[in-house]
Structure 1
Amino acid sequence: MKKKKILIRIGSLRHGGAEKVLVNFLKNLPPDKYEIDLLVNLYSGMYLKEVPFWINLRYLIKGEMITTNRPKDIPIKAFRVLYEKMFLWFPFLLYRFILKNKKYDVEIAAIHAMYKEILSSPQKNSKKIIWVHNDIFSIKGYTTKVIREFFRFDRILVISNKIRDGMYELADSDDEKAAIIKIFNPIDREDTLRKSDAEIQDYPFTENLPTFVSIGTVFPQKGYDRLLNVHKKLIDEGLKHQLLIIGDGYDFNTIQNQLNKLGLQETAKMLGFTSNPYPYLKRADFYVMSSRYEGFPTVIAEALIFNKPISATDISGIRDLLQDGRLGNITPNSEEGIYEGMKKFLTDKDLTEEYKKEIAQTELPFVLEKSVEHLQKIIDEV
């Protein structure tokens, strides 16, 4: 059987949800069926080591990701931007020198930000797929005109009803609507549970207080500023609890300074980045999501695997994952909404037990095998 030749493009393989989902997908594809080139702009990130050996891993630049604007880093960042732009402006150089003139059957933008790179491909006969992991309607710069460009792809994969419905509204024909396919990101349940058994060194909290955990890159979109304000308000009202935030990012120092200014050093901790947050998730009593926007918040799916009561802001993907509130508490996307959600869990033990029971009795739709099978079918039939 002739193997299908596929090119997949992504920025890097850092510690992000889309990157993790892509690697999970690749690890579960049959190597006898596909010949895959994975091209990363920056050869960096914790998931590099998890790419299967049979995947041809190519890159534009090697080096660590730069998340600050220190004067000494500006020349390096400028060079990287110009180098990447060169291949976007003159794509024939990329396909000749980096990809060695290889011909592809399918080309995939693994994140929405790579849409220009795939659409600029000189290989006009390849089928093109874009995988939209984020709520593009909430991202600055993604105007209607920009999003309309996505309809130049043969398939548009979206990960929530909200994004799908938004794309439907922009579609000009039934054919364009037919190109939009909702999929569930694959989550490796067994691997997640196995990793949660790792021992925690120096757990930062006492055992006798309810603990909320939140996991994610520390960007403004995650709403950790709102979360700390809510935590402070609940503590001041006498509702004792602990808050653990796991993740790193360019907003880390800002949020840490806010924590210190609010005097929350004893009850809230910024753990920073860890490659394995699952032991902390397993140990926590509740999961709280304070995000201003997301696409498909993979960590919510993982919290469901651990049967955790969840309170989450009403963002893209949440109603799909929590089945319109049956499996968790969906709050208004505001500081007051986050406050009401956390307060419910701290004052109503029956509610938390009810959510645990519902989760335990539900067959979760994002299990690895089903999602990978669906994605394969899309690639095979495009």
Structure 2
Amino acid sequence: MPEKKKILIRIGSLRHGGAEKVLVTFLKNLPEDQYEIDLLLNLYSGKYLPEVPDWINVVYINKGEMITTNRLQDIPKKAARVVYQKILKKFPDLLYKGKLQSKKYDIEFAAIHGMRDEILSSPVQSSKKIVWIHNDLSQVKGYTDAEIRKFFGFDKIMVISEKIEKLFLDLTKNENEKNKIVKIYNPLDTQEILTKAEMPVANYVFDPIVPTFVSVGTVFPQKGFDRLLKVHKKLLDEGFQHKILIIGDGYDFENIKKLKSELGLDETAIMLGFTDNPYPYFKNADFYILSSRYEGFPTVLFEAITLKKKIISTEVSGAREMLGNGALGLVVDNSEDGIYQGIKQALLQPETFAGYENRLKEYQMPFNLENSVSKITSILDEL
């Protein structure tokens, strides 16, 4: 029997984000007999930790929950973590000889773009290096063309949408660089989504008369929940009765909650925080809304499509691609006004969404779990 490939995978934590969910789904569907995997986390925390298969060796730099506040009592612990991680980043030999026990890896894998430098500065020079890009980096602060070009230090660059693929192809300088780029749709489990959607809804009562717009995501500025609340307020002031339901947690949670109260929306906009199973809320809501400022390939739209929801999405990377160029949902301008026009159309002319619903009924998903996993494993096997 051939020897198992030794693989190191790096990610910050397994908190409730799209990239984290996708990674864990991928790991759950890997054949155990072919790979020996060390999963190295900067912080041993996150909702997806219990889902990591037992055969995968989880290693971590720090332990404990993510510190998202700047409360006085948290600052020393937060600073200590940052310093420790910076030391290990600057002197990777310490990390590889210590926590990783001088293991020689065949492949080292950055599961998010933020792990680029950690993998490229690895002392294991013989390993093949892979990166998984989940974001449209042209929209991410600090990523100039020169910064993005550093990713060509990897042997393979996995991208998750046409827009990200084009961004990288436009920066290539030769055929070798072009061959490094491979587009793979995110591995997501449709059956799991459909099964979980049948569970009862907790902590929220859907109003049969007043339409509810649900939005699910990590509460970061990127997700545009501030824009969503401002639009909600404007439409209420114009007499359009509706409710907003935000599901998710993140470092911006308290800011968004404060904004909600300042705008006087505590009765009509609900923030439920994180839930292991958002799918019953998708299923029972009248509309799904994506208010993001930027994305890579919004996993959440895949979930909304799977559950045949009426969808409104800002024009972000992957939105048109996923929504069949606007055949499966309404794509609006990536602005507060775009979100306003989209929700207003849903409230004033709900019949305009009938076409999307009919097309969704017949729609077969081009990206499935099996295809994605086999495409990634073929890359691992070929390197």
- Does the pair score TM above 0.5? yes
After superposing the two structures, state which structure 1 stretch, 189-198 or 287-296, moved more.
189-198
In structure 2, how many angstroms separate the alpha carbons of the residues matched to 1:342 and 1:182?
Answer: 32
What does residue 346 of structure 2 align with?
Answer: 345
* Matched residue, 1:162: 163
1:263 aligned onto 2:264: yes
What residue is the counterpart of 1:213 in the other structure? Answer: 214
**Structure 2: gaps (5+ residues):** none
Distance 1:133 1:270 in 2: 26
1:136-151 alignment, distance < 5 Å: 136-151=137-152
Partner of 1:58: 59
Q: Quick check: 1:321 aligned with 2:352? A: no
CA distance in 2, matches of 1:353, 1:2: 55
Cα pair 2:206 2:284 within 8 Å, conserved: no
Q: Note the C-alpha offset of 1:253.
A: 2.2
Deviations 1:154-201 (A, max 9, x none): 011111111111111111112111111111001111111222222223
Counterparts of 1:137 and 1:71 in 2: how far apart (Å)? 35
Deviations 1:207-228 (A, max 9, x none): 2221110011111111111111
Shift of 1:265: 2.3
SS across alignment from 1:53: coil
**Letter of the structure 1 residue corresponding to residue 154 of structure 2:** F
How far is the alpha carbon of 1:101 from its aligned partner? 1.5
Question: 1: distance between equivalents of 2:154 and 2:96?
Answer: 19
Tell me the TM-score normalized by structure 2. Answer: 0.97
Q: Distance in 1 between matches of 2:39 and 2:137?
A: 24
Q: Following TM superposition, by how much is the alpha carbon of 1:350 offset from its aligned partner in structure 2, in angstroms?
A: 2.9
CA distance in 2 between partners of 1:201 and 1:319 (Å): 32
User: One-letter code of the match for 1:76?
Assistant: K
Asked if the contact 2:332/2:338 (under 8 Å) is kept, the reply is yes
CA contact (8 A) 2:198 2:280 kept: yes
Residues 131, 156 of structure 1: 8 Å contact kept: yes
Query: Is the deviation greater in 94-103 or in 259-268?
Result: 259-268
State the secondary structure of the residue aligned to 1:330. strand
> 139-148 or 36-45, which moves further after superposition?
139-148
- 1:24 is matched with which residue? 25
Q: Which amino acid aligns with 2:337?
A: E
Q: Which residue of 1 aligns with 2:273?
A: 272
Aligned CA RMSD, in angstroms, stands at 1.3
Q: Distance in 2 between matches of 1:202 and 1:379?
A: 43
Partner residue, 1:120: 121
CA displacement, residues 54-77 of structure 1 (integer Å, 9 cap, x when unaligned): 111111111111011112211111
| Alpha-carbon distance between aligned partners in 2 of 1:344 and 1:183, rounded to the nearest angstrom | 34
Check the 8 A contact 1:205/1:242 in 2, yes or no. Answer: no
Code of the residue aligned with 2:29 in structure 1: it is N
Kindly state the Cα deviation for residue 3 of structure 1 after the two structures are TM-superposed. 1.3
- Give, in whole Å, the separation in 1 of the partners of 2:371 and 2:132: 17
Unaligned stretches of 5+ residues in structure 1: none
- Residue 243 of structure 2 corresponds to 242
1:287 maps to 288
Corresponding position of 2:174: 173
| 1:1-31 residue CA offsets vs partner (Å, 9 max, x unmatched) | 2211111000101111100000000000000
Are the equivalent residues in 1 in contact too, given 2:37–2:56 (CA < 8 A)? yes
User: What is the DSSP-based 3-state SS (H/G/I as helix, E as strand, rest coil) of the residue aligned with 1:304?
Assistant: helix
Structure 2 SS opposite 1:379? helix
Distance 2:35 2:198 in 1: 34
- Aligned equivalent of 1:95: 96
CA–CA separation in structure 1 for the residues paired with 2:316 and 2:168: 16
Moved more, 271-280 or 19-28: 271-280
CA contact (8 A) 1:184 1:365 kept: no
Cα deviation for residue 282 of structure 1 reads 1.1
Aligned partner of residue 253 in structure 1, secondary structure: helix
User: What amino acid maps onto 1:16 in structure 2?
Assistant: G
Q: In structure 2, what is the Cα distance between the partners aligned to 1:190 and 1:337?
A: 33
Q: How far 1:127 moved relative to its partner?
A: 0.7
Contact 1:223 1:292 in 2 (8 A): yes
Identity of aligned residues (%): 58
Q: Give a deviation string over 1:221-247, Cα, whole Å, max 9, x none.
A: 111111111112222223222110111
Could you tell me how far apart the structure 1 residues matched to 2:304 and 2:153 are?
A: 36
Q: Which amino acid aligns with 2:186?
A: N
Partner of 1:98: helix, strand, or coil? Answer: coil
Q: Which residue of 1 aligns with 2:232?
A: 231
Give the TM-score taking structure 1 as reference length.
0.97
Equivalent in the alignment of 1:10: 11
Note the alpha carbon deviations across 1:278-313, whole angstroms, 9 max, x for none: 111111111011111111211111011100011111
The 8 Å contact of residues 3 and 34 in structure 1, kept in 2 or not, is answered as yes
Count of residues paired in the alignment? 382
State the secondary structure of the residue aligned to 2:98.
helix
Matches within 5 A, 1:298-337: 298-337=299-338
**1:243 is matched by which residue type in structure 2?**
I
2:378 matched residue in structure 1: 377
Q: Which runs of 4+ in 1 moved over 4 A?
A: none
For 2:356 and 2:278, locate their aligned partners in 1 and report how far apart those are by CA, in whole Å: 22
CA–CA separation in structure 2 for the residues paired with 1:250 and 1:54: 32
User: Which one is further off, 36-45 or 197-206?
Assistant: 197-206
Instruction: Please tell me whether the aligned partners of residues 66 and 73 of structure 1 are also in contact (alpha carbons under 8 angstroms).
Output: yes
Q: What letter is aligned with 1:58? A: V
Q: Which residue of 1 aligns with 2:46?
A: 45
Residues 35-64 of structure 1: CA deviation (Å, up to 9, x unaligned): 111111110011110000111111111111
Moved more, 58-67 or 342-351: 342-351
In 2, Cα distance between the equivalents of 1:19 and 1:369?
18
Distance of 1:356 and 1:86 partners within structure 2 = 53
